[in-house]
Amino acid sequence: MGGGSVIDVAKFISVSGSHSPSFELVKNLTIGEVKEKNYKITPLISIPTTAGTGSEISPFSTIWDKINKEKYSLNLPELFSEVALYDPVLTLTVPKKITIQTGLDSLSHALESIWNKNANAITLNYSIKAAKLIMENLVDLVNNLDNLELRDRVMKASMYAGLAFSNTKTATAHALSYSITLKKGIDHGVACSFTLPLLVDKIIGRYDFIDNSLKEIFGELSSSTLRKFLNLLNISTKFEDYGISDEEFKVLKSTALKNIRSNNSLVRL
């Protein structure tokens, strides 16, 4: 019971050797050094207290190695929760900053599931529902944090986005975000969302199913509405505002291209 980090840690420690707990086994599974099948999972019931990460409804456990500046994802089919329980009352005490960050993480999950090689009719349906709910409610919620109805809608968006990206996985925005978080200290929800307008502009006009999805969400084939939305949340879309120089961006782009999440994307950097 907690935010995405709490649920990710619970998933990590739910894995053990088939006969006894083994940190080394789980670490090696996480960093991809072994494809061990000889493990067991303690089943989880997950109760999220933020509306954003979707960890409660995905098979991924995100682990950050801040010493070596690496981000890992433990991905095992058994890491889906047995049950995920959603109660928006639990999010009423989430402060403004975290409400914005987690809401933007959900938006990124939804949009990245659209311009995704693994997208299909079912994931697109969830992605569109999630993105529309975020676009229509997050700004109002940030200005009225005690509104339970708005909390409920944003939590529902998080669930829909989780149902989408748990099948498609994330893509370019997330691939770019990892280094931005680790090297610049930018919170994940912001790091994976401020590049979304740039990616929208890059993908428009290439695929009918993406254009139709974006039109349904934004009411137009443009990043204009998304940029205005981020501006209302005081989120800049300029790399220099996050301390990223042109030279650093070249390194960032090169690092992102090597990340497996980039391979899911129909947007090329």
129 in the same domain as 10: no
The mean per-residue pLDDT over the stretch 227-235 comes to 98
Mean pLDDT along residues 117-145: 98
Where does a domain end: 84, 114, 137? 84
Same domain, 107 and 53: no
What is residue 32's predicted lDDT score, i.e. its pLDDT?
A: 79
- Considering the domain architecture, whether residues 109 and 162 belong to the same structural domain is answered as yes
Q: Per-residue pLDDT for 35 more than 80?
A: no
Find residue 60's DSSP bridge partners: 75
The answer to whether residue 184 sits within a structural domain is yes
pLDDT of 131 higher than 70: yes
Mean pLDDT of 186-197: 97
> Residue 234: what pLDDT?
98
- State which of 41, 61, 84 marks the end of a domain: 84
Taking residues 181-190, what's their average pLDDT?
94
C-beta separation of 159 from 149 below 8 A: no
Q: For residue 165, what pLDDT is reported? A: 97
Per-residue buried b or exposed e for 9-36, using 16+ beta carbons within 10 Å of the residue's own CB: ebbbebbbeeeeebeebbbebbeeeeee
Pairing of strands 70-75, 15-17: unpaired
pLDDT for residue 36: 65
Predicted local distance difference test score (pLDDT) of residue 64: 87
90 inside domain: no
235 in a structural domain: yes
- Do 70 and 188 belong to one domain? no
Indicate if 161 and 29 belong to the same structural domain. Answer: no
Question: What is the pLDDT averaged over residues 111-115?
Answer: 98
Domain that holds residue 31: 4-84
- Kindly state whether residues 80 and 116 are assigned to the same domain: no
| Cα gap 182→161, rounded to integer Å | 24
State pTM to two decimals.
0.94
Residue 51 pLDDT more than 90? yes
Contact assessment for residue 193 and residue 135, using Cβ atoms and an 8 Å cutoff: no
H/E element, 147: none
pLDDT in tens, 3-31: 999 999 999 999 987 666 778 888 888 88
Cβ neighbors of 1 (< 8 A, separation 6 or more) are: 46, 47, 49
State percent of the chain over pLDDT 90: 80
- Does residue 259 form part of some domain? yes
